[in-house]
Each structure stands twice: as structure tokens, then as C-alpha cells.
Amino acid sequence: MKGNEAIAEAAIRAGLNFYAGYPITPATEILEYLARHLPVRGGVFVQAASEIEAINMVYGAAAGGARAMTSSSGPGMSLKMECISYIALAELPCVIVDIMRGGPGLGDIQPAQSDYFQIVKGGGHGDYRLIVLAPSTVQEAYDLTFESFLLADRWRIPVIILGDGALGQVKEGVDLYDKAPVLFEKPWALSGAKGRKPNKIVPFNLEALELEKMNLALQNKYRAIEAQEVRFENVNINSKTKLIVVAYGTCGRIAKSIIKMAVEKGLDIGLIRLISLWPFPHNEIRYLARNFPSTKFLVVEMSAGQMVEDVRLSVSDDTRVSFFGRMGGVVPAPEEILREIERKGLC
């Protein structure tokens, strides 16, 4: 099963009621899979005429209390940003899948991680955050997508599944375990004010003090999410580890194979593979940096260096943080990264 198909299947099993999307490589299989499977399994599928339309349909469906999702890639994600900002302030749950490709501009259709800034730091206007989950295998894409609907409902926040073209297109076996989705009561949803007071979803306030209050409420929620939803995987990290590679998604997967090769070469390399990009494991990286003061960090991304800024912030000593990246849709080979480690004498 392709990564994209696993994501679509997980969404259906998580109780997806509504999906709208627009074709774009390398994310299109999600749209096509749901066109085939969602209507016959009780959900609504709409092919929108643009990504703007798609995300606004999701805004409506989510406001109506449905489990709603859209998916896209680079240029399409850029178009969705205004509405994502509205959904964030409206505090509605939804899931958005971004299968990243090479940018900027029309770029290409090869795997990349060049949209970390856009997705993790904002992209739309205003002070908002999104839960961002970055699977590195098809199984993990399935697991995280299933769970993302629960997180979205629990926190009333859009959750982004951030993959890349490699994850979307690769075929792997997946355990499609049967698990009943946990559903939430949504007393705030729009459904006609019958026997209750009207519900209103109003993502604006023209009074500065009132809008500040809405912002403060959002920020409080974000602090709670930061305290509870950080996810990452540590591999081979102990007091002897000389170098910790930090990576996510496809690069996280490549980095795992480096660890194996390094053990064979007798090098002490560990890995932090990030699963949640927001909330970011700042505290955990800070802890490692303080407790292992001679350990260095190497951030590997398919970008010019975006997540590395967050790692530098956590380590608080730029001399200990190096970066290796490829751009434009080039996926780095493990040997290439290992050569870089040896060349720079990082280990």
C-alpha cells in the first residue's frame, strides 16, 4: 500500500465524514483513494475547484461537527493558508495532509522538506499553532493519521500530517488493525438551533481587548498541548554518544540506517527522530545538550536548513550544531551523510 493510500484508509477508519481536495502530485492518491472508497463507506467526497475551495469546505464541514480532511502539497498548501488561520482561531478540529515536494515556485514533484517553516511556524496570518505530525514509514503514516482525528477533536485544533513525496509514493505492508475510533461530543457545532441556544463561530472581533482575550485563550491551549503532546524517538543515545543526528520524516528514516552503518564502523552516533514538529521537543533536546556537554548535533533535512533553527534554539550553542541538507527534490543517501560526518570530524 502506498503511503498516500494508507493515510486515506486510516482517515476512513478514524471516522472521516467529509473530504474535499484538488489534484496535485505527489499527494493525488489521497484524493483518488477517497473518491473511490469514502462515498461507499458513508462519507462525503467533493472534488473542489481549487485548494481554497477545498479548505473552506472543510471549514464548513468541521463547523458542522463532522470529521473533515483535505490534502495537498506545496503550491496548494500556500493557497490554503488564509482559511487555516481562520480555522485555528475558530478552534475547529480538522486534519490536513501535506505531502511536500520541491519548491519554491512550481518547483518539482520530487520529495522535499522545504515547507517546515510554512507548516510548523505559521504560513497563514496571526499567532496560531497547528499540531504537526511527521511520519517516516507507511505504517506510521497510518497510525498517526488515525490518531490525528482524535487529537484534532480533543484539542479543537487543525492537525497536519506532514509527509513528503517519498512517503506518499513508497509501497509498504501496513497492519490495518481494526480499532473503533473514539468520537467526541461537539455541543459547539452548527446544526440549527433546535432546543438550544444558537451556536456561533466567529473568528474575529473588532475590539482589540476582546481579540487579545481570544488570543490569550489560544495561547493557553497551546501551552497545554506543548506539555502533553510532544512525540519523538530516541535511538542509541547514552553518555558515550558523540554525535546526535536530528531528523524527521524521510530523513529520519535515512538517519536510522546511518546509525546501523555507524555501529559497524565503531562510531558512536545516536538519533532523535522527531514525530511531532509542533509541539517541538525543545525541553528534551535541551536536556541532552546540558547533560552531555561534549555531544554534537547534526540536523539532516531535505531543505536549506529550516528545522535546524529550532535545534539551535534548544542546544543554545551554535558551535555544537551542524547541518546537512539537499534541496530541490534530492533525497540524500546514507553514505553521503556519513561521509559528511567523517569529513567534518563530527564523530
Interface contacts to other proteins, rule CB under 8 A: 17-18, 20, 44, 46, 48-50, 52-54, 56-66, 68, 82-83, 86, 90, 190-195, 198-204, 206
Closest approach, Cβ 53 to other proteins, in A, equals 5
Pairing mode of beta strands 232-235, 269-274: antiparallel
For residue 46, the minimal CB distance to other proteins (Å) is: 7
Name the residue nearer to other proteins (CB basis): 83 or 95.
83
Q: Which C-beta is closer to other proteins: that of 200 or that of 343?
A: 200
- Smallest gap from Cβ 100 to other proteins, in A, equals 24
Using the structure block, give the residue that is written with the C-alpha cell 522535499.
Answer: 112
SS3 18: strand
What would the grid cell of residue 84 be?
487555516
H/E element holding 46?
strand 44-47
Amino acid at the residue 116:
Y
Q: 95 with 144: CB under 8 angstroms?
A: no
The label of the residue with cell 481549487 reads 50
3-state secondary structure of 304: coil
Read off the C-alpha cell for 262. Answer: 555507524
CB of 19 to other proteins, least distance (A): 10
Q: How far is the CB of 120 from other proteins (least distance, A)?
A: 22
Rounded distance between C-alpha atoms, residue 184 and residue 179, angstroms: 16
Residues 6+ apart with CB under 8 A from 209: none
Element (H, E) at 150: helix 138-155
Helix (H) or strand (E) run with residue 158 in it? strand 158-164
Q: How far is the CB of 21 from other proteins (least distance, A)?
A: 13
**Min dist. Cβ of residue 94 to other proteins (A):** 10
Of the two residues 17 and 257, which places its CB atom closer to other proteins in the complex? 17
Beta carbon of residue 16, minimum distance to other proteins (angstroms, whole number)? 11
Of 41 and 223, which CB lies nearer to other proteins in the complex structure? Answer: 41
- Residue 84 CA to residue 277 CA, distance in Å, equals 17
The residues with which 233 forms a beta bridge, in sequence order, are 273
Bridge-based pairing of strands 158-164 and 232-235 is unpaired
Q: Which C-beta is closer to other proteins: that of 80 or that of 129? A: 80
Note whether 14 and 145 are within 8 A (CB).
yes
Instruction: Give the span between the Cα atoms of 101 and 165, in whole angstroms.
Output: 6
